[in-house]
Amino acid sequence: MVRKKLINIVEMKLDLNRRNNLAQPLKKKYETVVFWGYSVGATVAWLCSEYDGIGDAAIGYYGSRIRDYTDLRPKMSVRLLFAEQEASVDVHQLTERLSCTSGVNIERGEGAHGFANPFSRFYHPETEKRALDWSFKFIETIWTGEK
């Protein structure tokens, strides 16, 4: 039941009122807004990247449902990190397709879905460290205006 509700949330396109209600208070309060998500949250970050003016960047780890939205054209810089082993999607095919999208940078890391979750049986500390280093360097480029 919870999984079905999460999938329904992801499948819901953010309409103008929802995205404004979500993001406008953040943009007023913070200089930089980065959407950062894991799994279904990565897909939500990916969906948010489609809207201009609600954030500065998006980061997603192992967002396998992104496969349903590969035609999306982000309006902000995006960094996606996928595990080499993903049960629900062909990672190589998905990353190949997404790598052609302007503003999207993709990495693949050792391990499986959940590599950054210390409570997951698939936790992979080396990949998590690499992913976090990569993500924080990306955020620094957003703050400094570098590309």
Q: How far apart are CA 127 and CA 119, in angstroms?
A: 15
Read off the tokens for 15. Answer: 């309409």
| pLDDT value of position 64 | 84
Alpha helix (H) ranges present in the chain?
2-11, 16-29, 40-48, 91-98, 125-144
Domain ranges of the chain: 2-144
Q: How far apart are CA 58 and CA 6, in angstroms?
A: 19
| pLDDT value of position 136 | 95
| pLDDT value of position 74 | 96
Q: What is the CATH number of domain 2-144?
A: 3.40.50.1820
Taking the chain (147 residues) in runs of 10, the rounded mean pLDDT of each run is: 50 53 76 92 92 91 91 95 86 90 91 90 93 94 80
| pLDDT value of position 19 | 56
| pLDDT value of position 30 | 85
| pLDDT value of position 2 | 47
